[in-house]
A = this chain, B = another copy of it.
Amino acid sequence: MADKYKHDFFNITFPHEYVAVVEINRPEKLNAFKEVQWLTLRTIFQTLSHDPSVRAILLTAAGPRAFCSGLDVEAAAAGTLSSRETDGARQANYMRRHIFDFQSCITAIEQCEKPVIVALHGICFGLAIDISLACDIRLASSDARFSVKEVDIGLAADIGTLTRLPHANVPMSWVKDVCLTAREFHSEEALKVGFVSGVYEGKEGVVEAGLEKAKLLATKSPVAVVGTKELLNYSKEHGVADGLNYTAVWNAAYTQTADMKDAILAGLKKKKVTFAKL
């Protein structure tokens, strides 16, 4: 593995051509996050975004018990949350900068050009939900337990859940229920409402399924895959006329590629095709 992918608290591997696996690695703390971790997460996904050797990414977490138990509250209490200005406006500005920076680290996953599949298992609380909503495809193990936990620590969730969950096209009545009550919900319910799009047997099951999907995406034309992610993201945020117009301008450039002819031929001949790097 290249040095640029060596980081504390994360293992990054490339088990198949064009497939990267990012593993959150702090199992002894149930993969809870402290500041260095979210800063590193941003660095990793910004690097993967432009790495021509990567076409699909799987995000997982180490250890059997938890994908992520949320913010490392102890570290936060000793860090950010400890430094309080006495003037309310100045404290507000301090917090605003802090939240922006934290949010932008998670948004790096959404802005990564390459599609990101997340394999959720065990405990997925608080920040785990924020992170998973910045991913493109959410898969869960049969034993996964979810909670939008923030209300229970006196806080409206501010790292993305309250913004992205209403845009995930899951029923709003359910969204408000889980966000206001902070109650746990499990894989079956998550699948039924559409929060995840697949449930698999145990952590092994979901990691394997995620890997298979990543491998599948990695066989496709990267021009088509990158365009599809971007056009879906743009369209979700804009009206239909805007979405169609943007799509036309995008493909005005991105159909000027040998991948189209190669992909069609490969389809006809049922043969594997090699696409150039992107």
Contact = CB atoms under 8 A, between A and B. Distances in A.
Given A89-B257, A158-B248, A176-B137, A267 B153 contact: yes
B151 A228 contact: yes
A97 B180 CA distance: 22
Contacts of A196: 173
Nearest to A181: B216
A145 to B, nearest CB: 16
Interface residues of A, number: 107
Interface in A55-83: 73, 81
A40 interface: no
Q: Which of A175, A213, A244 has the most CB of B within 10 A?
A: A244
A171 to B, nearest CB: 3
A25 interface: no
A115 interface: yes
A248 B96 contact: yes
Contact of A240 (B100, B110, B157): B110
A103 B244 CA distance: 7
A227 interface: yes
Contacts of A241: 241
B176 A251 contact: no
A276 interface: yes
Interface string A150-166: 11111111101011111
Interface stretch (A2-10, A12-20, A30-38, A258-266): A258-266
Contacts of A95: 248, 251-252, 255-256
Contacts of A142: none
A278 B97 CA distance: 12
Given A193-B194, A225-B151, A237-B239, A246 B248 contact: no
Nearest to A135: B173
Contact of A225 (B180, B220, B224, B230): B180
A96 B180 contact: no
Given A170-B171, A175-B232, A257 B152 contact: no
Given A156-B231, A156-B247, A256-B256, 18 more contacts: A88-B88, A89-B256, A93-B223, A93-B226, A96-B249, A115-B176, A150-B228, A152-B267, A153-B264, A154-B223, A158-B250, A160-B244, A162-B228, A162-B243, A164-B235, A182-B220, A253-B253, A253-B256
